[in-house]
Every structure is written in C-alpha cells, then in structure tokens.
Copies of this chain bind each other. A is one copy, B any other.
Amino acid sequence: MTHEKPLILIANDDGINAPGIHELINYVADMGQIVAIAPDAPRSGQSSAISVNKVLRVTRHDDYNGAEMYSVNGTPVDCVKLGMHAILPRRPDLILSGINHGSNSGNSIIYSGTMGAVLEGCMLGIPSIGFSYLSHDEKADISVCRDVVKTVTAKVMEHGLPHDICLNVNIPKSDRINGIKVVRAARGFWTEEYADYVDPHGKPFYWLTGKFHNEEPDNPMTDHYWLDRGYASVVPCHPDQSAADQIDNIENLLG
C-alpha cells in the first residue's frame, strides 16, 4: 500500500472534451494515478453550483494518456462530489482543476467553475489547485503552462497545503513565464456587462459580456499586476466567506 502512486483527481469547467484538461493530464501524467472527471459540456461561470433537483449520471470515456476519463451531466462541483461517491477507488491525494481556457484572476474566482471544483476539494480536506490560462482561444498553444503546473503541483504534493487553503493559479498569455508570484486577487468590478439585442418580434434580449475594472492596477500585492508583467500568479483562497473580524462591528451596528 505504501508504494501506491498518489491518486490525482482532475476536474474542470470547460468540459471533458476541452484541450485544457488533456494538457493538464499530459503535464502531470508521471506524477500519479490520474482519474479525470469533468462536465459533459462546457460549464463556465458555474461557480460552486450544485445540481439539487436533477438526475446525475456518469459516462466513461476512452482512457487518455494513462488517465481514466469520465463525464458527469452536471456542474464542476457535482463532478467532485459524485466522483468521491461513485467513481474514485479511494480518497484522492490531490485535486487539480483546469487548465481553464480564460482568466480566473481578480474577482472572477467567485464565478469560476474551475475554482468551484477546487474550493469543494478544499472543503473535503484534500489539497486542491486550479489552473487557468489567460486566453479563451481553445486552439491556443498552452504549453507555456507546463513548467508552472509541474512546479506548483510537485511542491503541493511534497508539502501539502494549510488547512482550509487552496490555490488559484493564473498563467499569462506569453511566450515565456518570468516567474511565479504569490499574491491576493486584485479588487475590482465588472462594467459594460451586457450586449443588448432586439429579437425579430421587437423584444429585447441580453448576452453577458463585460470588462473587469481593476481598482488597484499599480498594486504589486495583486494577481493582475504580475500577470500583466508576464508572471504566473498564485492566490491562496479559503472557501469560508465568514468575515469573523467583522462580528463586533456588526453587533454594534445591529445593537
């Protein structure tokens, strides 16, 4: 038993057919026994959503580069939860998610299905890391991610992660990566959030779009600052959104 390879669960939100999950498998194929469990279709922007009133099914696909491949007709969190319940041969030693096609920097963490899977793994007490590449182009060559993925994964396999902490790794669109910076998410908000249309019957409809407005572009404590300069960013995250340091404040306010 002590000679068993580490078991690595790989999830994503772009779906079982996305290039990013195949590349991620390639990069860590030599580091453990890999089981990939991903949504059966793209589920970007699914955050930590769970399917509460829906029948879930698991479909087995052909193995890829030594990894068992499964899809679930649900969200990224469904993939982790149902993987633990019905697919994995034992509790995984590590959960990786991605490589996402598109940034999860700034406040995108909260909307990200990639990070939904990671936060779920973290709540289960399993070291969990999300990887995102700053291009939505699924045909892009993302091999620049290889060294970052291998370095961060190897260190986390060696040392583990602090209790209740997971990692959000973003990798810039660049020919080479200048280094890795551990930072916090840049504060900001989204603007110009919808494209407006009118249907053939004269009724309006809307399509989500938008730009992230970075409120602190010159702050070297933040992910955007270093991504803009060709560095990969690593943001430690915790699932618990309680603001314990505000309890006294709010007590006074309500009192």
Chain B nearest Cβ from A54, distance in angstroms: 8
Asked if B50 and A48 make an inter-chain contact with CB atoms under 8 angstroms apart, the answer reads: no
Asked if B254 and A236 make an inter-chain contact with CB atoms under 8 angstroms apart, the answer reads: no
Q: Which residues of B contact A1 (CB under 8 A)?
A: none
Give A55 to B167 CA distance when docked, in angstroms: 33
Chain B nearest Cβ from A61, distance in angstroms: 16
Chain B nearest Cβ from A240, distance in angstroms: 6
Partner of A203, one of B57, B207, B208, B253: B57
Give A162 to B45 CA distance when docked, in angstroms: 27
Task: Report A214-240 residues with CB < 8 Å from chain B CB.
Answer: 221, 234-240
**A132 at the B interface (CB under 8 A):** no
Stretch at the interface among A4-12, A17-25, A78-86: A78-86
**A119 at the B interface (CB under 8 A):** yes
Asked if B55 and A45 make an inter-chain contact with CB atoms under 8 angstroms apart, the answer reads: no
A-B pairs with beta carbons under 8 Å apart, 30 shown: A44-B53, A46-B49, A47-B47, A47-B48, A47-B50, A49-B75, A55-B197, A57-B205, A81-B194, A82-B206, A84-B193, A85-B194, A107-B239, A109-B242, A156-B253, A162-B250, A165-B250, A182-B251, A184-B243, A184-B244, A185-B242, A187-B240, A221-B244, A234-B254, A235-B242, A236-B244, A236-B249, A236-B250, A237-B241, A237-B243
**A139 at the B interface (CB under 8 A):** no
Give A197 to B56 CA distance when docked, in angstroms: 10
**A31 at the B interface (CB under 8 A):** no
Asked if B254 and A155 make an inter-chain contact with CB atoms under 8 angstroms apart, the answer reads: yes
Give A165 to B183 CA distance when docked, in angstroms: 21
**A64 at the B interface (CB under 8 A):** no
Chain B nearest Cβ from A30, distance in angstroms: 20
Q: Which residues of B contact A155 (CB under 8 A)?
A: 253-254
